[in-house]
Amino acid sequence: MLFQNITVLDENFEVRSNYYVGVRDDRIAYCSDQPPKEDFGEIYDGTNRLLIPSFYNMHSHLPMVFLRGYGENLPLMTWLQTRIFPFEAHLTDDDIYYGCLMGIAEMLRYGIGATEEMYIRQDPLGRAFAESGVKANFAQCCNGFGDEGYFDLPIYKETLETIQKYNGAADGRIRAEFSLHAEYTSTEKIVRGLAETAAKYGSSMHVHVSETAGEVQACRERHGGKSPVRYLADCGLFSVPTVAAHVVHVDDEDIAILKEYGVTVATCPKSNAKLASGICPVSALLKAGVNVAIGTDSVASNNNLNMIEEMRFFNLLQKAATLDPTVITPKETLFAATRAGALAQQRADCGLVKVGFKADLTVLELDRIYLQPEYNVLNNLIYSAAGNDVALTMVDGRVLYRDGNYPTLDIEWITAECEQRRLRILGELAGE
Amino acid sequence: MLFQNITVLDENFEVRSNYYVGVRDDRIAYCSDQPPKEDFGEIYDGTNRLLIPSFYNMHSHLPMVFLRGYGENLPLMTWLQTRIFPFEAHLTDDDIYYGCLMGIAEMLRYGIGATEEMYIRQDPLGRAFAESGVKANFAQCCNGFGDEGYFDLPIYKETLETIQKYNGAADGRIRAEFSLHAEYTSTEKIVRGLAETAAKYGSSMHVHVSETAGEVQACRERHGGKSPVRYLADCGLFSVPTVAAHVVHVDDEDIAILKEYGVTVATCPKSNAKLASGICPVSALLKAGVNVAIGTDSVASNNNLNMIEEMRFFNLLQKAATLDPTVITPKETLFAATRAGALAQQRADCGLVKVGFKADLTVLELDRIYLQPEYNVLNNLIYSAAGNDVALTMVDGRVLYRDGNYPTLDIEWITAECEQRRLRILGELAGE
């Protein structure tokens, strides 16, 4: 495909107007203000459209689409214990598979091409990611409160099997990884065993860290004054490439540790606000040189996968929290939503519009009254655009969303399956 | 028009499914789960659509559409003095008229039917509001630093003329009112004269109050320890119905005064975040019984009129700031964006879907993957919907926006006029 006469945010997020971007197989093969001599097949008219790298959603639980709006405006523990956990106890592998496909449709609708996925089962995620064409690092998160170690948990064997089956599958597009739910839902024996296994397999790690003030306080009480960041680092969890989600309540020592181990922080600004956890100190993390990416968390605590809206919260919350309007720029914001995720997932050749990079691309409509005038299209993207201005999402050179259509997903069937399964579970819950 | 088989948020914001809402002339004449016997003319198929009261944007400067994205990521004073004020100095009355029409198109696109408008000239606003069909209270804000009193300012005579010409015009749809820019841009002589004049004419008032911490501190130094709220109350400014915009930095005494005088607070969550002013203590204001409405401020500091997004910031910022997820509900949020504005504008029969009320209605598309499942459509509206899911905006029974069309606005002509005028001003600025 050749994107023609399109506006592009280039590898430095500078605006290039009337540009030509050619895609050959799974890669960007041409970028210029001059038309190419070669033929790239279909010509896509980019007039009044913007081409950017597709977004990375760096903390996600896609199958929780069933739970969007199920239990709102409740304190966190009431919400989890009376709504979320009882419902999730009824989810079968196939429920999770269909829920994941539904979530994938939503991520594509919002221009997200890659996800960092953590949920309660791994194999159905792998099936959904393999079939749909999106990029994903995904894991089943482990927890345990007893005397057992990681090697005793059923998840140990399952994860090894899934790693075997999915890691690097689809030409590296999907990767099974390891995940710890959190410090407060595990024992030290489990954390150390998990860290050891991940190191052995050279796989990456995904973990919830320091989401609430209460979590940090309780951890310090349990672990001789250590914060969750310090404790997990000491257990060896960060010895593999790690994505730490949330990271709301951290001090300078924590930030230095995150930087030292090259941990990526996946901040979830809307979810942290909605669950009243607080505001992640993004600007302090960036200042310290930590790689900061953006996650939506699940739609149960967000309640959508609208990455443009998420970028807006990411940006504006920092300004509100620091009382400094210059503390974060549109470029830093777009970087966090694109390239920072690619770097976190060790996809060095992803997350930018650049020759030789994977063709993971999102096209946005610019012909909107709320995008006029156009002093700088990047400013308009970060501060004015709507999430559903997305017209096309492409991953590895393959169109996965275009003008309301999902070439790899039977959206009507998936929607019907999800609705039927949701009603079945509600029926089961009512019968309890 | 008869809205048929539509989902409605009724006068208590409870969900009514498969409802019938009939509009006769400028009012809602029928609401029921049964079809009416009378004929209401055109039938609007409401399948998969939601009917709500149209939004009130309670703090707006519409003609600043020219300045969207013009000067970003700057400290407030640099932004104002090097970008905003120099540009605005070049605006003619006709520029303001066309800018206002462009802003009106955007407000309609986002389901806003009424605006509380403050800008630097009043007559061109009146023309735009009269022609377009939206509801508006509008004013030219006054300021002055010299020895002159309000009665000496040119704006005094102009405002009286505009009041004469527009107050209650278009069957009460538009109302000219008075406005003070702020405590820090005026003298006590001006504030007292303005208060006296507004009281004499029984007109309402619109004023910026306590937007930044610095403003409050400087006011206390200038006025014997009085906060802006205390000072303006003592000057008599709140003796007429008043909309106080921003109100970010207030203490308990201020809140008690706002309640005592029945002042409506128009909070601007996104603008206050973007300009790093802080977070308005909405929940404390609501707890004290203050009427709290929502404003977007201008698109130069927002940067759009997306009221659904604004409601989301309003709601989530309170949860983040108070660390209490139950501190504000979806019903309180929708009230602030609709009925609270109608009450502030003394439009007792506006702002709810209720028989006998003015037919100021907004229809939203529900057939969106990010609005599934539908446990409660109000939750989905506040936490999941996109601003541009608006399909129709009606004011006084007249359709002003529908599926991309603006029956009262020549949108291509307005867009072209605005672009031409913007380029003229940039040229003038370049030549200085």
Among A102-106, A166-170, B148-152, B341-345, the least confident range: A166-170
State whether B325 and A373 contact (CB < 8 Å).
Answer: no
Probe site for chain B from A76, A267, A370, A426 (most B CB atoms < 10 A): A370
Provide the domain limits for residue B257.
62-344
Among A282-291, B23-32, B103-112, B149-158, the least confident range: B149-158
Please report the pLDDT score of residue A167 as a whole number: 84
**Residue whose token pair is 């996800």:** A115
Please report the pLDDT score of residue A290 as a whole number: 98
Instruction: For residue B230, give how far its alpha carbon lies from the nearest alpha carbon of chain A (Å).
Output: 25
Please report the pLDDT score of residue A85 as a whole number: 94
Cα radius of gyration (chain B): 21
Q: Is the pLDDT of residue B310 over 90?
A: yes
How many domains does chain A divide into? 2
Same-domain status, A35 and A80 = no
Confidence class for position A432, pLDDT limits 50, 70, 90: confident
Average confidence (pLDDT) over B154-183: 93
**Residue whose token pair is 């020759």:** A355
pLDDT > 70 fraction of chain A, expressed in percent and rounded: 100
Q: Token pair for residue B56?
A: 């009130």
| DSSP at A142 | B
Contact B366, B49 (CB under 8 A): yes
Same-domain status, A149 and A210 = yes
Q: Is the pLDDT of residue B432 over 90?
A: no
State whether B319 and A415 contact (CB < 8 Å).
Answer: no
Q: Is the pLDDT of residue B313 over 90?
A: yes
* Amino acid (1-letter code) at residue B240: V
Could you tell me the CA-to-CA distances from A314 to A263, A328, A385, B432 in Å, in that order? Answer: 19, 9, 15, 38
In a domain, B352, yes or no: no
* Exposure string for A389-422, b = 16+ CB within 10 A, e = fewer: bbbbbbbbbbbbbbeeebebbeeeebbebbbebb
Contact A55, A14 (CB under 8 A): no
Instruction: For residue B190, give how far its alpha carbon lies from the nearest alpha carbon of chain A (Å).
Output: 31
In a domain, B256, yes or no: yes
Instruction: For residue B426, give how far its alpha carbon lies from the nearest alpha carbon of chain A (Å).
Output: 11
In a domain, A285, yes or no: yes
Q: Closest Cα partner for B97 from B68, B118, B126?
A: B126
Bigger pLDDT: A170 vs B32:
B32
Instruction: For residue B411, give how far its alpha carbon lies from the nearest alpha carbon of chain A (Å).
Output: 9
**Interacting residues of A172 by C-beta distance below 8 A, sequence separation 6+:** none
Same-domain status, A157 and A231 = yes
Same-domain status, A166 and A263 = yes
State whether A369 and B74 contact (CB < 8 Å).
Answer: no
Q: How far is the C-alpha of B103 from the C-alpha of B309, rounded, in Å?
A: 17
Q: Token pair for residue B408?
A: 């009262």
In a domain, A426, yes or no: no
Please report the pLDDT score of residue A140 as a whole number: 95
Nearest to B276 among A76, A324, A374 (CB): A324
**pLDDT digit string (tens) for B294-309?**
999 999 999 999 999 9
* Amino acid (1-letter code) at residue A129: F
Half-sphere exposure of A348 (CA within 13 A, CB side): 0
Average confidence (pLDDT) over A414-426: 98
Nearest to B276 among A299, A302, A320 (CB): A320
Nearest to A74 among B326, B375, B388 (CB): B326
Instruction: Tell the burial category of A260 from Cβ atoms under 10 Å away from its Cβ (0-12, 13-18, 19+).
Output: exposed
Query: Domain of A361: which CATH number?
Result: 2.30.40.10
Which residues of chain A make contact with B419, given a CB cutoff of 8 A? 372-373
State whether A306 and B415 contact (CB < 8 Å).
Answer: no
**Residue whose token pair is 């230095």:** A256
Q: Is the bond preceding residue B57 a cis peptide, omega within 30 degrees?
A: no
Q: Is the pLDDT of residue A75 over 90?
A: no
Nearest to A317 among B109, B273, B379 (CB): B273
Find the residue in A nearest to B270 (Cα): A316
Distance of CA B389 to the CA centre of its chain: 20
Cα radius of gyration (chain A): 21
Nearest to B75 among A302, A326, A376 (CB): A326
Q: How far is the C-alpha of A399 from the C-alpha of B381, rounded, in Å?
A: 30
Probe site for chain B from A383, A389, A419 (most B CB atoms < 10 A): A383
ipTM over 0.95: yes
State whether A375 and B69 contact (CB < 8 Å).
Answer: yes
Helix (H) or strand (E) holding A116: strand A112-119
Q: How far is the C-alpha of A78 from the C-alpha of B324, rounded, in Å?
A: 13
State whether A376 and B72 contact (CB < 8 Å).
Answer: yes
Identify the three-state secondary structure at position B280: coil
Same-domain status, A372 and A229 = no
Same-domain status, A168 and A294 = yes
Confidence class for position B268, pLDDT limits 50, 70, 90: very high
Please report the pLDDT score of residue B23 as a whole number: 98
Half-sphere exposure of B303 (CA within 13 A, CB side): 30
Q: How far is the C-alpha of B382 from the C-alpha of B364, rounded, in Å?
A: 12
Could you tell me the CA-to-CA distances from B72 to A318, A386, A389, B103, B144 in Å, in that order? Answer: 15, 19, 22, 20, 28
Q: What's the mean pLDDT when you consider all of chain A?
A: 97
pTM above 0.90, yes or no: yes
Average confidence (pLDDT) over B5-18: 98
Please report the pLDDT score of residue B74 as a whole number: 86
Please report the pLDDT score of residue A183 as a whole number: 97
Distance of CA B5 to the CA centre of its chain: 30
Contact B382, B334 (CB under 8 A): yes
**pLDDT digit string (tens) for B327-376?**
999 999 999 999 999 999 999 999 999 999 999 999 999 999 999 999 99
Same-domain status, A275 and A142 = yes
Find the residue in A nearest to B313 (Cα): A313
Bigger pLDDT: A208 vs B77:
A208
Find the residue in B nearest to A385 (Cα): B304
Confidence class for position B75, pLDDT limits 50, 70, 90: confident
Q: How far is the C-alpha of B27 from the C-alpha of B158, rounded, in Å?
A: 34
Q: Token pair for residue A330?
A: 């549109």
State whether B325 and A75 contact (CB < 8 Å).
Answer: yes
Q: What's the mean pLDDT when you consider all of chain B?
A: 97
Which residues of chain A make contact with B383, given a CB cutoff of 8 A? 69, 72, 274, 302-304
Query: Domain of B332: which CATH number?
Result: 3.20.20.140
Same-domain status, A30 and A141 = no
Same-domain status, A12 and A132 = no
Same-domain status, A274 and A367 = no
Same-domain status, A94 and A218 = yes
Degrees (nearest 5) of the Cα angle A231, A236, A238?
90
Q: Closest Cα partner for A101 from A124, A67, A68, A70?
A: A124
Instruction: For residue A42, give how far its alpha carbon lies from the nearest alpha carbon of chain B (Å).
Output: 28
Helices A154-166 and A123-132 cross at an angle (nearest 10°) of: 20
Q: Closest Cα partner for B107 from B141, B131, B136, B139?
A: B136
State whether B369 and A105 contact (CB < 8 Å).
Answer: yes
Q: Is the pLDDT of residue A115 over 90?
A: yes
Same-domain status, A25 and A105 = no
Q: How far is the C-alpha of B229 from the C-alpha of B421, rounded, in Å?
A: 38
Average confidence (pLDDT) over A354-369: 98
Nearest to B73 among A277, A325, A418 (CB): A325
**pLDDT digit string (tens) for B188-200?**
999 999 999 999 9
**pLDDT digit string (tens) for A43-54?**
999 999 999 999
Q: How far is the C-alpha of B158 from the C-alpha of B347, rounded, in Å?
A: 25
In a domain, B258, yes or no: yes
Could you tell me the CA-to-CA distances from A105 to A304, A393, B371 in Å, in that order? Answer: 12, 11, 13
State whether B75 and A419 contact (CB < 8 Å).
Answer: no
Instruction: For residue A283, give how far its alpha carbon lies from the nearest alpha carbon of chain B (Å).
Output: 14
Find the residue in A nearest to B320 (Cα): A273
Task: Quickly list DSSP for B85-131.
Answer: HHHHTT--HHHHHHHHHHHHHHHHHTTEEEEEEEES-SHHHHHHHHH
Q: Closest Cα partner for B314 from B56, B118, B61?
A: B56
Which residues of chain A make contact with B326, given a CB cutoff of 8 A? 73-75
State whether A276 and B102 contact (CB < 8 Å).
Answer: no
**pLDDT digit string (tens) for A196-236?**
999 999 999 999 999 999 999 999 999 999 999 999 999 99
Average confidence (pLDDT) over B389-411: 98
Confidence class for position A169, pLDDT limits 50, 70, 90: confident
Q: Is the pLDDT of residue A74 over 90?
A: no
Contact A132, A400 (CB under 8 A): yes
pLDDT > 90 fraction of chain B, expressed in percent and rounded: 96
Please report the pLDDT score of residue B167 as a whole number: 85
**pLDDT digit string (tens) for B19-55?**
999 999 999 999 999 999 999 999 999 999 999 999 9
Please report the pLDDT score of residue B2 as a whole number: 98
In a domain, B430, yes or no: no
Please report the pLDDT score of residue A31 as a whole number: 98
Which residues of chain B make contact with A106, given a CB cutoff of 8 A? 369-370
Q: Closest Cα partner for A365 from A330, A398, A333, A392?
A: A392
In a domain, B10, yes or no: no
A401 forms beta bridges with: A393
Instruction: For residue A13, give how far its alpha carbon lies from the nearest alpha carbon of chain B (Å).
Output: 16
In a domain, B135, yes or no: yes
